[in-house]
């Protein structure tokens, strides 16, 4: 009897000892713990390991929505999984909110049996998985990242660069390495020591040559490469990386073609948080562009004669492609039979065979205009009818796919002289004759600019007179003092109109520039024009001080100085015509045409000056 009792006690002790291993805690497990701005349903599985039938209840978190599943029903914010048999698994659904606060953790507890919690995390997909692309190898040139977060406060681990440069060069042999970065998000769940396990994903690539791979479990080449990856465990470093490298040969792709990398079914388990984290897709496209994006054109309104002459040449450099460049250096070779002697606005005093111009950057579609003065000597040129406006242009630059490298490669584009532009050459006409005609054209353009400025001054004077007339005709009986003050405020705005002042200043700058380029610098003309500008500035100051009468007087004087300048220009034009008519050149029909052009210009000048004088005098009679 005692022996039997002893055996029974031992048996009960053994049952008590091993029962926890037979009947363990129940488990709750979510198919996807992560979410962000997209509303989606998360399936939660509950497995009854209690050894007996058990009822489970879950309170739906605030802001979330619960739905029935298999063996579970939702009512009034409570999910009930009633009388779940031992070893059975039931499910219910939770729908996340659409506008969560980033990194919010929502913990769901289960009542009934002994069941773990499930925690959901609001986090963008690209902070779980993204692809960093390296151009070349060993230079740290991570030029593109599939990470496209718009939040400046967010990070995604080492190597995050933002979207970067989605372009590749045509006609170039290069290597790309795709670094697929997977992150253990345990820190956001407040888990200091939790491993992520069983990470898997699959990517497809263009079928170009594969030169390296890491953590690959299968690889197959068809129309595309299909590559599967697996990482058993992501430990305390919080990130692991599988990668693949490819070679791209020059000529394989043309401008406008693309390659696409598409990674799908990215998933790993974070058991300590109660489920999986998954990303449906990480995809991006890189486009081939012209590695030599610059177009250069040159033009000149001058004809080059036989002998020595000075010509203005305008060069326009355009970035015609869709990718940006920086550290741009433009080198323009002087045309044949010439040297550069200055820029528009500055003469150097020496001749140069090459002009160099540097820019910090030149974005896609941007252009840069450079105007240079070239001194030609065609006396030994022989029989030519045209000349290229440069002996060639060299553009050095760094492209966006090189910006992040430790030692960025500098590209050089050579633009041939034949495609830039030409100027006509008339070797039968001495350069002195051509120079006189160019000077006549310049004077005529200058007169037009002077008349434009006179019109703008007259507009300002009219505004002043309009206000004065209003002020003098207004009485307190018909108008309040506030009305007068309001009108005074309106007048101040009108007089200081930024558009009007900008137009006047622009005309002033252009007039001075044109005067500086007259082959004979006329001191009297410059004095008259600059004195007029000083009087304009004085009028503005007087208006600001409220002295209307003084401002009107200053504007009248400014106008008169411009009229005297126009008279001086007419004199210069007459001198140019006389020089033209007294030339020893024997081709008299050409001389006749030049003289006729000069006479027409003089007539237009005098008519314009006379007409404007009538308008002005009539205004101040």
561 pLDDT higher than 80: no
pLDDT of residue 428: 81
66 pLDDT higher than 80: yes
pLDDT of residue 445: 56
592 pLDDT higher than 50: no
- Dig out the tokens for 418 from the structure: 């034949």
CA dihedral 532, 312, 338, 349 (to 10 degrees): 20
Q: Which of 391, 420, 449 is the last residue of a domain?
A: 420
In the block, residue with structure tokens 């200091």: 192
Q: Which residue has the higher pLDDT, 598 or 46?
A: 46
**Each residue's pLDDT tens digit, 394-438:** 999 999 999 988 889 999 999 999 999 999 998 887 765 555 555
Q: Are residues 606 and 579 in the same domain?
A: yes
Q: Are residues 407 and 437 in the same domain?
A: no
Task: Identify the weakest region by mean pLDDT among 178-187, 445-454, 467-476.
Answer: 467-476
pLDDT of residue 154: 39
**Has residue 17 been placed in a domain?**
no
**Has residue 9 been placed in a domain?**
no
* Collapsed DSSP state (helix, strand, coil) of residue 429: strand
Q: Are residues 114 and 137 in the same domain?
A: no
131 pLDDT higher than 50: yes
**Has residue 2 been placed in a domain?**
no
Other beta carbons within 10 angstroms of residue 284's beta carbon come to 20
Q: Give the mean model confidence (pLDDT) for residues 131-156.
A: 75
Q: Are residues 113 and 132 in the same domain?
A: no
**Has residue 533 been placed in a domain?**
yes
Q: Are residues 447 and 513 in the same domain?
A: yes
Structural domains in the chain (count): 4
524 pLDDT band, cuts 50/70/90, is low
Q: Are residues 314 and 263 in the same domain?
A: no
DSSP label at residue 164: B
Q: Which residue has the higher pLDDT, 89 or 492?
A: 89
Q: Are residues 118 and 151 in the same domain?
A: no
Q: What is the pTM of this model?
A: 0.67
**Each residue's pLDDT tens digit, 282-318:** 999 999 999 999 999 999 988 898 888 889 999 999 9
Write out the residue range of the structural domain in which residue 107 sits.
26-122
Q: Which residue has the higher pLDDT, 506 or 185?
A: 185
Q: Are residues 76 and 202 in the same domain?
A: no
Q: Are residues 572 and 480 in the same domain?
A: yes
Q: What share of the chain is helix, strand, coil (3-state, %, to 5)?
A: 35, 40, 30
pLDDT of residue 535: 76
- Percent of the chain past pLDDT 70, that is, above it, reads 68
Q: Are residues 38 and 133 in the same domain?
A: no
């Amino acid at each position: 009897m005692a022996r039997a009792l002893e055996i029974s006690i031992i048996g009960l002790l053994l049952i008590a000892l091993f029962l926890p291993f037979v009947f363990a805690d129940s488990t709750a497990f979510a198919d996807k713990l992560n979410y962000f701005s997209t509303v989606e349903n998360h399936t939660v599985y509950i497995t009854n390991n209690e050894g007996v039938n058990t009822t489970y209840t879950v309170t739906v978190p605030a802001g979330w929505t619960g739905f029935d599943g298999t063996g579970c029903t939702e009512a009034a914010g409570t999910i009930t999984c009633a009388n779940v048999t031992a070893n059975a698994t039931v499910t219910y659904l939770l729908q996340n909110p659409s506008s969560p606060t980033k990194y919010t953790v929502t913990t769901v507890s289960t009542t009934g049996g002994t069941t773990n919690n499930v925690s959901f995390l609001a986090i963008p997909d690209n902070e779980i998985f993204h692809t960093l692309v390296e151009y070349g190898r060993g230079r740290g040139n991570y030029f593109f990242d599939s990470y496209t977060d718009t939040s400046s406060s967010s990070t995604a681990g080492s190597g995050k660069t933002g979207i970067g440069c989605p372009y590749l060069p045509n006609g170039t042999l290069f290597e790309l390495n795709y670094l697929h970065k997977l992150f253990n998000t345990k820190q956001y769940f407040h888990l200091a020591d939790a491993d992520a396990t069983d990470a898997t994903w699959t990517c497809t690539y263009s079928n170009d040559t594969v030169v390296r791979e890491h953590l690959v479990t299968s690889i197959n080449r068809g129309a595309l490469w299909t590559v599967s990856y697996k990482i058993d465990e992501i430990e305390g470093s919080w990130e692991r990386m599988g990668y693949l490298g490819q070679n791209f040969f020059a000529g394989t792709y043309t401008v406008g073609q693309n390659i696409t990398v598409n990674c799908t079914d990215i998933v790993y388990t974070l058991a300590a948080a109660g489920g999986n984290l998954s990303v449906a897709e990480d995809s991006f496209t890189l486009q081939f562009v012209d590695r030599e994006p610059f177009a250069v054109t040159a033009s000149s309104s001058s004809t080059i004669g036989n002998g020595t002459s000075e010509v203005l040449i305008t060069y326009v450099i355009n970035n015609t492609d869709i990718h940006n460049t920086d550290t741009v250096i433009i080198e323009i070779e002087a045309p044949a039979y010439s040297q550069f002697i200055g820029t528009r606005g500055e003469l150097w005093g020496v001749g140069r065979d090459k002009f160099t111009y540097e820019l910090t950057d030149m974005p896609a579609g941007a252009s840069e205009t450079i105007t240079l003065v070239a001194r030609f000597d065609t006396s030994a040129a022989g029989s030519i009818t045209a000349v290229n406006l440069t002996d060639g242009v060299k553009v050095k630059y760094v492209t966006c796919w090189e910006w992040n490298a430790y030692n960025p490669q500098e590209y050089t584009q050579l633009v041939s002289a034949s495609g830039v532009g030409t100027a006509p050459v008339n070797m039968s006409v001495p350069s002195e004759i051509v120079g006189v005609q160019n000077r006549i054209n310049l004077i005529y353009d200058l007169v037009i600019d002077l008349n434009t400025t006179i019109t703008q001054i007259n507009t300002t004077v009219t505004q002043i007179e309009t206000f004065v007339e209003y002020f003098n005709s207004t009485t307190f009986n018909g108008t309040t003092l506030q009305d007068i003050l309001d009108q005074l405020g309106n007048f101040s705005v009108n007089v200081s109109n930024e558009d009007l002042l900008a137009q006047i200043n622009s005309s002033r700058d252009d007039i001075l520039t044109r005067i500086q380029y007259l082959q004979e610098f006329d001191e009297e003309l410059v004095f008259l024009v600059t004195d007029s500008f000083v009087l304009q500035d004085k009028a503005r100051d007087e208006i600001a001080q409220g002295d209307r009468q003084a401002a009107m007087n200053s504007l009248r004087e400014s106008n008169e100085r411009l009229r005297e300048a126009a008279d001086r220009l007419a004199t210069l034009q007459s001198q140019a015509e006389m020089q033209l008519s007294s030339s020893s050149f024997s081709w008299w029909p050409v001389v006749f045409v030049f003289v006729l052009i000069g006479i027409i210009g003089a007539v237009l000048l005098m008519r314009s000056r006379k007409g404007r004088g009538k308008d002005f005098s009539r205004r101040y009679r």
